[in-house]
Structure 1
Amino acid sequence: MEWKKKDLTLPPSPLVPDYERDLLDPFLFKGMDKAVERILTALTNKEKIIIFGDYDADGVPATALLASFFNQIGFTFYDIFIPDRHLESYGLSLERVKEFAADDVKLIITVDCGITDIAEVDLANKQGIDVIITDHHLPPAVRPAAEVIINAKQADDRYPFKELCGSGVAFKLVQALITRGNFNLPKGWEKWLLDLVAVATISDMVPLTGENRVLTHFGLIVLRKTKRVGLKALLAALKLNPRFVTEDDIGFMVGPRINSASRMGHASEAYNLLMTEDVETAATIAKNLDTKNTARKGAVENILKAVEGLVGTKEPLPVLVVGQNDFSPGILGLVASRLVEKYRRPAFVWGKTEFGEIKGSGRSDGSVNLVELMRAAGDNLFSDLGGHVMAAGFTLLPGKEGELNDKLNAVYNQVKQATMSSVIFYDRELTLDGCTEATWRVIEQWAPFGVGNTKPVFLFNKLKVFQVKMFGNGGIHLELTFKTNQSKNICAIGFFYTKDLKVTAGETIDLLATMEKSYFRGIPELRLRIVDLKKA
């Protein structure tokens, strides 16, 4: 990879978000007026409502967010439903709609799902159930005939910001309901929901720009003083000091634990964590999720080892497609992400469910919109598909797993958006002596960092390596230690280090890295996060 200095780095504007100034009017969403009117009618008439959520670290907080609002206003005529990731398809199902009808449900509100559920919404309509879809995934050409669809990605929607996650959309719905409803809530009560929005926004890896940056900025403030017993328990289980929780802590520690509930069991466990008010229950669930996450890591590594053998036998095509019947579909998104990191091309991985369905996940390297790629591959390949530009899920029609590789690669060149650059850009040069608290205070003004608002990358020239250590299960992470001119130690961490370049103590290297502040074991420490390195 070639390294080049950026021509210009511009900060977000304005640098410090303002809640009142920067949050957009929720009624700019197409259909928001109608959605609010329908929900207020249901609340007044005490109609049975189902909150139907997705099972990931966006859908579960979104479900908890809307349920928390109903609880706060004293509305009890609702239930929530989150599908079993291993046994059911993504989104609504015909069977569940029939069950809801039998249970006299009058309104379904989806969160973080529903935009592709055409047949399911048609059935709900026939059964006398209204459906309000709140979603952020890419809409199909033909949309469900729902009562209302709240999704900024609709071509005819005028909401200015298109990148809210599912929890972000759910928050805008609550914001609108509070504006129009007479709930006698304390002014600004909705801000207490922002801890959930921050967790979801960071975990779902939507761009931390525009309104997402505002929601996450204030969401982190709320999270640091959260009233949620479950989030407090999870932070305690992870040995994270709530006062110093960062977006990295959510992305690398909190989010994966919430996701582990559905990946290694059922998402209801994560939902219960976010909703419980019992300290002992919260502590037990938090410990269970941490244990599940450890098991998840082992399962991912086992599949990756198997995949390495499969990839070695394949011709290097533009899209990497692998699968085996014994791969657990619940963790294949993580496997696909790791494959993209290593092979620098889009990756699709599939496995078989207990009921014989072939389900899988795809991750993009940025060169192609995954949903467009799958749609271009043909209607006679997938029974279900959906997702984002960069991440998607799918279910194959019976017996089609043998065609997936050929069909995706056949249409790749038709829909690819760009050739991936072999250049890594950095912002400026820095010395180890420049890694100071003063420098960090300047950097953190740009936080929260994430997709679309990345940390500044620094070039460190001719660093002498003092110590090299591999750590983590199986030695998959790299830690380099350097000495400043004042003989202070500065560490550089590379998680999931996959480069073939081996580094030894005493060598001199050039390093691209970001700066971060770690509070591991409660000890504040400035350190570097490796972006790339090479021999000097």
Structure 2
Amino acid sequence: MRQPVTLVRSKPPDALTGWPGIPVLLERIYRSRGVRDPGELDLSLEGLCEPSGMPGLDVAVDLLLENTDQSILVVGDYDTDGATATALAILGLRALGWTRVDYLIPNRFTHGYGLSRALIEEILPRKPDLILTVDQGTTSHEGIQYARHAGIKVLVTDHHLPGAICPPANALVNPNLPGSVFRAQTLAGVGVLFYLLIALRARMRAQNCLPTEAPSLASWLDLVALGTIADLVPLDRNNRILVAQGLRRIRQGACRPGLQALIEVSHKSAMAITEEDLAFSVAPRLNAAGRLEDMRLGVACLLADDPETARQSAQALDQINQRRRSVQEDVEVDALEQVVQNMLPGTSELACVLFDRDWHLGILGLIASRIKERVHRPVFVLACSPAGELKGSARSILGVHIRDVLVTLDARYPRVLKQFGGHAMAAGLTLCEGVSIEEFRVCLEEVIEPYRAVCDMGQHIHTDGVLPVHEITLDTATAIAQGGPWGSGFPKPLFEGSFRIERIASRSERHCRVVLRDQEGEKCFQAYGFSASARACEAGKSGYFLFLPVVNRYGGREMLELQVMDQFGADEITCIERAKF
């Protein structure tokens, strides 16, 4: 049975002032997302926050300039943010005059996350003078200490939340360090590295040591946009500028050959690329390498200079992603069977804990995300590592800060968690040797009990309210498409409406195309839906729909379609209003 659903509608402002050149509907949408002034919609590069105030930036620039002729090893992370940040570091430093720059990506299965001691032991024979981390390192105390004792300098660039004590790095650049006054603290890892290059280039220009052939840093905004979108960081104005400018370069054909090739194997058009294309088509192909094999394949694709090499790399990544989909589908079937058993009527588990020793470690986070959308509770998915450890990923819901939950669990039961890390909505964890899944489940239920009211309240979906039939037009769809970039923290509009399914045009397991008629019988609309919304389609059925007007471009024509996100019976929902998302 479906969990209770509450539609949280954005409450329209008391008065819309009529922003010049902005449709009234878009003004209302922007205001509900915290935009106070039309000037905030200017997404030119001049609107970027100045680097001043970023903790550790000056020290990091000093360290790099002291090591211009030394060997630098860039150590990234095995997701798209880490891959794009690694590629940006290599390209940027080489363009600014550093010649001895190489990179290494930790292996998810043998090294684990971050600058671990095991990774440092592998690095030592390469004898780098300086390790530059991107998108990781803030919590890698042991590995950094080990590297320093071996005589290697360490420069950390990261965006993850720090612990109570900072690691013993020579320099630490992170907008989220205590006392930070930097105004753009939501940067992704690639964004932090981009700001380091901005500061480094500015210092070199001031000291008259900037190479005359050094390109503009804007040349690599395509990588910054991809990493920012993929990492789901909130799209505040600063991140929206980075993404908008990166999308602009891609559409102009000015992106890296590797990114162009990834767009092509995703069957998308670079000239019409959207933030959703990057998030749901390009990024998964890069992430697949880190999930199933080695993210060095992804970085190599992004660094490729000639189109043919880039194409071959992109095709290899596409094949890995196809395998990832197959593995994920098999695991998801098993996981859903466990959900049915664990969430039977009469049970009161506040968190859903799923385990199979043979599940692939690389896709546990994906499974946790999919299950969370079904049960609307925090979800922990664990499996057994090659070393015999129980490792897992967690995904949470609004109102349950999952990292704080694990901090509390670790304080109360210090022999349960070997290590953990994460943020409000996602975390990774490893159980101590000898701790069973049932022991972990019991301890977790105890510490998550204070969140019972949140866990029991069911699904909350934020919407922009009912869209009148006369506003469901191609002009509306076009305005929304051009009004982005949309994403985490600045969500694409979602509207409500009552419709009748006039007929079903086509259907598959995951996709359904239908014709919808509004309840007054005035208009019919072409519509499509995926997954659960597709399976619920039934000709002649009336219901309450959540949808988005979109532009369908085909054969040189533009047509209106409705993308159906969900549908309900009238008795399955309640509605409340709030001023902002």
User: TM-score, normalised on structure 2?
Assistant: 0.85
Q: Given that residues 235 and 242 in structure 1 are in contact (C-alpha distance below 8 angstroms), is that contact kept between their aligned partners in structure 2?
A: yes
**In structure 2, what is the equivalent of residue 449 of structure 1?**
486
Unmatched runs of 5 consecutive residues or more in structure 1: none
Q: Given that residues 62 and 112 in structure 1 are in contact (C-alpha distance below 8 angstroms), is that contact kept between their aligned partners in structure 2?
A: yes
Counterparts of 2:197 and 2:497 in 1: how far apart (Å)? 47
Q: Secondary structure at the match of 2:67?
A: helix
* CA deviation after TM superposition for structure 1 residue 6, in Å: 2.3
Q: Which amino acid aligns with 2:425?
A: M
The range that moved more, 54-63 or 132-141, is 132-141
The range that moved more, 34-43 or 278-287, is 278-287
2:206 is equivalent to residue 196 of structure 1: no
Q: Given that residues 395 and 426 in structure 2 are in contact (C-alpha distance below 8 angstroms), is that contact kept between their aligned partners in structure 1?
A: yes
* CA deviation after TM superposition for structure 1 residue 150, in Å: 1.2
* CA deviation after TM superposition for structure 1 residue 195, in Å: 0.7
After superposition, the C-alpha distances for 1:241-289 in whole angstroms (9 at most, x for unaligned) are 1110001101110111110111121101111110011322211221122
Q: How does 1:117-132 map to 2 (within 5 A)?
A: 117-132=140-155
**Which of these residues, 286, 291, 294, is aligned with residue 258 of structure 1?**
286
**In structure 2, what is the equivalent of residue 424 of structure 1?**
461
Q: Pairwise CA RMSD of aligned residues? A: 2.5
**In structure 1, what is the equivalent of residue 565 of structure 2?**
531
Counterparts of 2:171 and 2:395 in 1: how far apart (Å)? 30
* CA deviation after TM superposition for structure 1 residue 73, in Å: 2.6
**Which of these residues, 408, 415, 421, is aligned with residue 380 of structure 1?**
415
**In structure 2, what is the equivalent of residue 86 of structure 1?**
109
Q: Which amino acid aligns with 2:424?
A: V
Q: Which amino acid aligns with 1:515?
A: P
**In structure 1, what is the equivalent of residue 44 of structure 2?**
19
Q: Given that residues 376 and 459 in structure 2 are in contact (C-alpha distance below 8 angstroms), is that contact kept between their aligned partners in structure 1?
A: no
**In structure 2, what is the equivalent of residue 512 of structure 1?**
546
**Which of these residues, 242, 245, 252, is aligned with residue 218 of structure 1?**
245
Q: Secondary structure at the match of 2:532?
A: coil
- Identical aligned residues as a percent: 31
After superposition, the C-alpha distances for 1:224-245 in whole angstroms (9 at most, x for unaligned) are 2233111111111122111100
Q: Secondary structure at the match of 2:353?
A: strand
Q: How does 1:212-361 map to 2 (within 5 A)?
A: 212-224=239-251, 225-314=253-342, 315-361=347-393
Counterparts of 1:401 and 1:5 in 2: how far apart (Å)? 43
Counterparts of 1:460 and 1:52 in 2: how far apart (Å)? 49
**Which of these residues, 160, 164, 187, is aligned with residue 141 of structure 1?**
164
Q: How does 1:408-423 map to 2 (within 5 A)?
A: 408-414=444-450, 422-423=459-460
2:236 is equivalent to residue 209 of structure 1: yes
Counterparts of 2:87 and 2:245 in 1: how far apart (Å)? 18
* CA deviation after TM superposition for structure 1 residue 51, in Å: 0.6
Q: Secondary structure at the match of 1:312?
A: helix
**Which of these residues, 420, 423, 436, is aligned with residue 473 of structure 2?**
436
2:41 is equivalent to residue 7 of structure 1: no
* CA deviation after TM superposition for structure 1 residue 417, in Å: 10
**Which of these residues, 483, 495, 503, is aligned with residue 537 of structure 2?**
503
**Which of these residues, 86, 106, 109, is aligned with residue 132 of structure 2?**
109
**Which of these residues, 210, 214, 219, is aligned with residue 183 of structure 1?**
210
Q: Given that residues 49 and 78 in structure 1 are in contact (C-alpha distance below 8 angstroms), is that contact kept between their aligned partners in structure 2?
A: yes
Distance 1:261 1:425, change over 3 A: closer
Distance 1:353 1:517, change over 3 A: farther
* CA deviation after TM superposition for structure 1 residue 517, in Å: 3.2
2:504 is equivalent to residue 467 of structure 1: yes
**In structure 1, what is the equivalent of residue 433 of structure 2?**
398
**In structure 2, what is the equivalent of residue 458 of structure 1?**
495
Q: Given that residues 368 and 416 in structure 1 are in contact (C-alpha distance below 8 angstroms), is that contact kept between their aligned partners in structure 2?
A: no
After superposition, the C-alpha distances for 1:176-225 in whole angstroms (9 at most, x for unaligned) are 11111132356871111111111111111111113111111111112222
Counterparts of 1:42 and 1:117 in 2: how far apart (Å)? 23
* CA deviation after TM superposition for structure 1 residue 306, in Å: 1.0
* CA deviation after TM superposition for structure 1 residue 169, in Å: 0.7
Q: Which amino acid aligns with 1:408?
A: L
* CA deviation after TM superposition for structure 1 residue 361, in Å: 0.9
* CA deviation after TM superposition for structure 1 residue 308, in Å: 2.0
Distance 1:188 1:72, change over 3 A: closer
* CA deviation after TM superposition for structure 1 residue 422, in Å: 4.7
Distance 1:187 1:308, change over 3 A: same
**In structure 1, what is the equivalent of residue 23 of structure 2?**
none
Q: Given that residues 481 and 490 in structure 1 are in contact (C-alpha distance below 8 angstroms), is that contact kept between their aligned partners in structure 2?
A: yes
Q: Given that residues 111 and 135 in structure 1 are in contact (C-alpha distance below 8 angstroms), is that contact kept between their aligned partners in structure 2?
A: yes
2:191 is equivalent to residue 168 of structure 1: yes
The range that moved more, 441-450 or 189-198, is 441-450
The range that moved more, 1-10 or 105-114, is 1-10
Counterparts of 1:316 and 1:477 in 2: how far apart (Å)? 33
Q: Which amino acid aligns with 2:564?
A: I
**In structure 1, what is the equivalent of residue 84 of structure 2?**
61
Q: How does 1:89-100 map to 2 (within 5 A)?
A: 89-100=112-123
Q: Given that residues 369 and 416 in structure 1 are in contact (C-alpha distance below 8 angstroms), is that contact kept between their aligned partners in structure 2?
A: no
Q: Secondary structure at the match of 1:504?
A: coil
**In structure 1, what is the equivalent of residue 54 of structure 2?**
29
Distance 1:370 1:311, change over 3 A: same
Q: Secondary structure at the match of 1:466?
A: strand
Counterparts of 2:552 and 2:394 in 1: how far apart (Å)? 32
Q: Which amino acid aligns with 2:431?
A: L
* CA deviation after TM superposition for structure 1 residue 516, in Å: 2.8
The range that moved more, 193-202 or 69-78, is 69-78
Q: Given that residues 465 and 509 in structure 1 are in contact (C-alpha distance below 8 angstroms), is that contact kept between their aligned partners in structure 2?
A: no
Q: Given that residues 222 and 255 in structure 2 are in contact (C-alpha distance below 8 angstroms), is that contact kept between their aligned partners in structure 1?
A: no
Q: Which amino acid aligns with 1:69?
A: G
Distance 1:335 1:470, change over 3 A: farther
Counterparts of 1:22 and 1:362 in 2: how far apart (Å)? 36
Counterparts of 2:476 and 2:214 in 1: how far apart (Å)? 38
Q: Which amino acid aligns with 2:543?
A: I
Q: Which amino acid aligns with 2:41?
A: V
2:66 is equivalent to residue 41 of structure 1: yes
* CA deviation after TM superposition for structure 1 residue 367, in Å: 2.4
Distance 1:360 1:16, change over 3 A: same
* CA deviation after TM superposition for structure 1 residue 313, in Å: 2.6
Unmatched runs of 5 consecutive residues or more in structure 2: 13-27, 571-581
**In structure 1, what is the equivalent of residue 15 of structure 2?**
none
Distance 1:42 1:248, change over 3 A: same
Q: Secondary structure at the match of 1:377?
A: helix
* CA deviation after TM superposition for structure 1 residue 105, in Å: 1.4
Distance 1:369 1:468, change over 3 A: farther
Distance 1:376 1:513, change over 3 A: same
* CA deviation after TM superposition for structure 1 residue 386, in Å: 1.7
Counterparts of 2:224 and 2:433 in 1: how far apart (Å)? 38
* CA deviation after TM superposition for structure 1 residue 404, in Å: 2.2
* CA deviation after TM superposition for structure 1 residue 432, in Å: 5.3
Counterparts of 2:433 and 2:507 in 1: how far apart (Å)? 43
Counterparts of 1:523 and 1:82 in 2: how far apart (Å)? 44
Q: Secondary structure at the match of 2:319?
A: helix
* CA deviation after TM superposition for structure 1 residue 52, in Å: 0.6
After superposition, the C-alpha distances for 1:375-408 in whole angstroms (9 at most, x for unaligned) are 2111422222222211222222222242222222
The range that moved more, 119-128 or 277-286, is 277-286
Q: Given that residues 63 and 111 in structure 1 are in contact (C-alpha distance below 8 angstroms), is that contact kept between their aligned partners in structure 2?
A: yes
Q: Which amino acid aligns with 2:443?
A: K
Q: Given that residues 376 and 458 in structure 2 are in contact (C-alpha distance below 8 angstroms), is that contact kept between their aligned partners in structure 1?
A: no
Counterparts of 2:453 and 2:139 in 1: how far apart (Å)? 24
Distance 1:139 1:236, change over 3 A: same
Q: Given that residues 342 and 498 in structure 1 are in contact (C-alpha distance below 8 angstroms), is that contact kept between their aligned partners in structure 2?
A: no
Q: Given that residues 386 and 394 in structure 1 are in contact (C-alpha distance below 8 angstroms), is that contact kept between their aligned partners in structure 2?
A: yes
Q: Which amino acid aligns with 2:327?
A: A
